[in-house]
Amino acid sequence: MSFGQGGPQWGPGGPDSGPPNWGSGSDTPDWAALAEASEARARRRRWLWIGGSALATVVVGALVAMAVVSANSSSASNQPADELPTSADIPSDTTQPGPSFEATTAPPPLDPKDFVSSVKKDTAPLSADTLFPGSSLTMGERIYKKGSTSSTTKCATAVRGALAKVLTSNDCTRVIRATYSRKGVAVTVGVALFDTEAKATKAKQEWDKGNVASLSGSGVPAFCTTAVCRSTANSYGRYAYFTVSGFTDGKNVTQKDSAVFTTGDDLAEFTFRQIRRRGEAQASAAANSPAS
């Protein structure tokens, strides 16, 4: 036997296997196919595990439901169905009297205007000091100094022109006046009292000429005696109130003199509020009275 180059050659597979082939021939394993097969087996195992879990859950739920139904029906299983009471045999609570409550209705709130619309209800003390209290009046940023006040039952003496006849024909019982001034402008407001709201309203409607007489003194010079001034009229309840406003230096008032218009409007608004407050006070006292 020769140990030269012509001797037999073999690989690890035996004498007939030939030398090992490390190339890329058909004997090389298909690694991609092997990986896909492994992944497929893993997927099958996961689905089998999920399916088994779901089946176990369904089985457990069914067993629990059967146990609940069995427990609920066990109390009735001891008595035949024909021996169970019918709905007509079950006593009802219709024979028991229900709770009873007395019907109560809150009284309607008292209307403040009712107490200042008739002399029979408007009985609170009234004077120039209660209607126009203090020594000054503040409306917004404007401060007015109070001048003279007066009160008379002779209504015609507190007004001028045709207004005297209007007050007299409607049975005016009293006129209260007060004067206020600010920066050379003065205003006198006159409040005429009547026994009823209807008479006060009628006096306001009939007013077209004449005005309340201006009231000077207490630091306010005579005004609106001969000069052109601005006048207003209104009413609330059994009260009709009139204003006359103008310059303290005797100058005529024109439509451009906004300060005069503002002064008259402020005093008219304040008078309305005072009359309404009077009604509110009397309504509150009546509501809290034991007799009510």
Query: How is 58-104 classified by DSSP, letter by letter?
Result: HHHHHHHHHHHHHHHHHHHHTS-GGGSPPTTTS--STTSPPP-----
Q: What percent of the chain has pLDDT over 90?
A: 59
Burial of 132 (0-12, 13-18, 19+ CB in 10 A): buried
pLDDT category of residue 94 using cuts at 50, 70 and 90: low
**Global pTM exceeds 0.75:** no
17-31, 42-56, 195-209: the lowest-pLDDT one: 17-31
CA angle 233, 229, 180 (to 5 degrees): 75
Residue recorded with tokens 């402020």? 266
Find the mean pLDDT for residues 62-83.
Answer: 49
Query: What does the pLDDT read at residue 169?
Result: 97
| Greater pLDDT, 19 or 174 | 174
What tokens appear for 145 in the block? Answer: 């100094």
Contact 254, 229 (CB under 8 A): no
Query: What does the pLDDT read at residue 46?
Result: 58
End-to-end CA distance of the chain: 148
Find the mean pLDDT for residues 208-216.
Answer: 94
| Greater pLDDT, 10 or 27 | 27
CA 67 vs. chain centroid, Å, equals 58
Query: What does the pLDDT read at residue 51?
Result: 53
Per domain, the residue ranges of the chain are: 31-69, 112-287
Query: What does the pLDDT read at residue 42?
Result: 59
pLDDT in tens, 190-201: 999 999 999 999
